[in-house]
């Protein structure tokens, strides 16, 4: 029996059979829509491109990040090319249209962000980028250059919140916490929070000889770029506590000492870039992380810490006239925050651009919670050892 190319529906009208082209088009559209819904509201895959979370997360790890745990964020820039974040892969042009912007809204989540969660978020200082040097931090460059000087060398771009670069760090302090750091150890609400065993610090290693077999050190898991020679027999090595234990067992190691910046030395690159605060990478604070409903007094001590949050993240017009502050045209001596904020730091403490450099992460920048590693590739491994089998389906803690 031959099948007819058309048949009548219940209304008596002929119903043509779909062509192959139409079937493929419908299937592609359905797949794109379904995948977009999944990655926006449920789960999305990310990769680790830098060593800022070594050795908790390695370069080449592929993660699944949950949008459900903290509640999926409704797209703030809804008109965008599917599967492209902010830039088209071939043309280098914008992958979104910012002519339509929606207010920040988030669906209910399973939980709130907790201390030590590993979180994916949009880079807070990513609102302004340099087209020809997108890996550079525009605001860090402003510490030594003017906007006019940068404009003469680069094309300056603005990006909406949800189209800023995705970062992954550990949430050291949540909204309302007090965070400080002394000699490389973080303190949350006055309690020491030692670095995880898989995190990395810098150690000064004194060897018994200048004829050092660095391959033995690399074989322990230390990357070449994490080994720096200071003198004939002294090196600075960035590594984890686990690897350090094995390193100390080598018969040509004389001594090992933790290296940290000295207290009281001012580093202008460290948030809030205030000369009145002699803070550096390993010594800063205390800083209170803003919480929704928390009120701060506006004065010369607090404003270096909270000015950007009030003006940029919460969208107020902020002016200073003499010693007085005006918010949206009205004189103000206090401000009550509208959002929760977080303090994020990398586990590779001396190779991580994190909250120590750019301050708080607002809640509207939060993307999701890192769940587990579904694949991991070692670019330095041999052809047969490219896949790190021991990291597959490994949970992130």
The domain that holds 238 is classified in CATH as 3.30.70
Work out whether strand 185-188 and strand 191-193 pair parallel, antiparallel, or are unpaired.
antiparallel
Q: CA end-to-end span of the chain, whole Å? A: 62
pLDDT of residue 13: 61
CA distance 41 to 282: 38
Cβ atoms of 64 and 120 closer than 8 Å: no
Q: From residue 300, give the alpha-carbon distance in Å to each of 93, 99, 184, 264, 306.
A: 42, 37, 27, 20, 11
Instruction: Answer whether residue 209 is part of any domain.
Output: yes
What does the pLDDT look like over 86-124, one tens digit per residue? 999 888 889 999 999 999 999 999 999 999 999 999 999
Structure tokens at 70: 């903290």
Instruction: Answer whether residue 118 is part of any domain.
Output: no
Instruction: Answer whether residue 221 is part of any domain.
Output: yes
Write the CB contacts of 41 (distance below 8 Å, at least 6 apart in sequence): 67, 68, 72, 107
Write the CB contacts of 79 (distance below 8 Å, at least 6 apart in sequence): 96, 97, 99, 100
Q: What is the DSSP letter of 95?
A: S
Structure tokens at 198: 């898989």
* 374 pLDDT more than 90: yes
Instruction: Answer whether residue 65 is part of any domain.
Output: no
Higher pLDDT, 256 or 3: 256
CA distance 125 to 271: 12
Report residue 15's pLDDT band, with 50, 70 and 90 as the boundaries. low
CA distance 104 to 75: 8
CA distance 171 to 115: 6
pLDDT of residue 305: 98
* 292 pLDDT more than 90: yes
Least confident of 94-103, 181-190, 377-386: 377-386
The pTM of the full predicted model, rounded to 2 decimals, is 0.90
Least confident of 91-105, 345-359, 373-387: 373-387
- Collapse the DSSP code of 34 into the 3-class scheme (helix H, G, I; strand E, B; otherwise coil) and give the result: helix
Instruction: Answer whether residue 241 is part of any domain.
Output: yes
Q: DSSP for 131-147?
A: TT-TTS-HHHHTTTS-H
Per the structure, how many domains does the chain have?
1
Which residues span the domain enclosing 222?
200-258
What does the pLDDT look like over 204-261, one tens digit per residue? 999 999 988 899 999 998 989 999 999 999 999 999 999 999 999 999 999 999 999 9
Report residue 1's pLDDT band, with 50, 70 and 90 as the boundaries. very low
Q: What value, to the nearest 5°, has the Cα angle with vertex 359 and ends 136 and 269? A: 50
Report residue 5's pLDDT band, with 50, 70 and 90 as the boundaries. very low
Instruction: Answer whether residue 230 is part of any domain.
Output: yes
Report residue 17's pLDDT band, with 50, 70 and 90 as the boundaries. confident
- Collapse the DSSP code of 2 into the 3-class scheme (helix H, G, I; strand E, B; otherwise coil) and give the result: coil
Instruction: Answer whether residue 120 is part of any domain.
Output: no
Strand-pair partners of 181: 186, 284
Give residue for tokens 């590594």.
239
Structure tokens at 266: 């001012």
Instruction: Answer whether residue 206 is part of any domain.
Output: yes
């Amino acid at each position: 029996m031959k099948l007819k190319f058309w048949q009548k529906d219940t209304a008596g009208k002929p119903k043509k059979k779909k062509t192959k082209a139409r079937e493929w088009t419908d299937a592609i559209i359905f797949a794109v829509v379904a995948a977009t819904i999944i990655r926006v509201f449920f789960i999305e895959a990310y990769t680790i491109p830098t060593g800022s979370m070594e050795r908790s997360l390695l370069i080449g790890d592929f993660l699944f990040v949950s949008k459900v745990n903290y509640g999926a964020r409704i797209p703030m820039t809804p008109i965008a090319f599917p599967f492209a974040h902010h830039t088209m892969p071939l043309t280098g042009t914008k992958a979104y249209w910012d002519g339509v912007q929606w207010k920040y809204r988030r669906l209910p989540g399973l939980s709130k962000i907790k201390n030590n969660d590993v979180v994916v978020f949009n880079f807070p200082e990513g609102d302004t980028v340099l087209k020809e040097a997108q890996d550079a931090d525009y605001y860090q460059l402003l510490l030594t250059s003017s906007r006019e000087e940068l404009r003469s060398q680069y094309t300056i771009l603005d990006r909406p919140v949800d189209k800023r670069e995705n970062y992954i760090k550990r949430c050291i302090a949540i909204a309302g916490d007090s965070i400080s750091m002394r000699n490389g150890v973080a303190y949350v609400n006055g309690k020491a929070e030692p670095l995880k065993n898989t995190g990395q610090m810098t150690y000064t290693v004194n060897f018994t000889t200048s004829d050092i077999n660095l391959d033995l050190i690399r074989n322990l898991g230390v990357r070449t770029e994490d080994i720096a020679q200071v003198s004939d027999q002294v090196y600075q090595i960035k590594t984890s506590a686990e690897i350090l234990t094995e390193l100390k067992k080598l018969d040509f190691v004389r001594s090992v000492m933790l290296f940290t910046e000295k207290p009281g030395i001012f580093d202008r690159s460290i948030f809030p870039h205030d000369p009145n605060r002699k803070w550096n990478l390993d010594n800063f604070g205390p800083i209170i992380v803003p919480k929704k409903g928390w009120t701060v007094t506006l004065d010369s001590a607090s404003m270096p810490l909270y000015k950007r949050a009030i003006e940029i993240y919460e969208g107020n017009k902020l002016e200073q006239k003499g010693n007085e502050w005006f918010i949206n045209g009205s004189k103000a001596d206090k401000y009550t925050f509208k959002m929760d904020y977080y303090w994020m730091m990398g586990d590779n403490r001396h190779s991580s651009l994190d909250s120590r450099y750019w301050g708080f992460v607002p809640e509207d920048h939060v993307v999701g919670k890192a769940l587990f590693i579904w694949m991991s590739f070692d670019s330095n491994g041999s052809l047969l050892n490219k896949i790190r089998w021991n990291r597959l389906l490994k949970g992130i803690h």
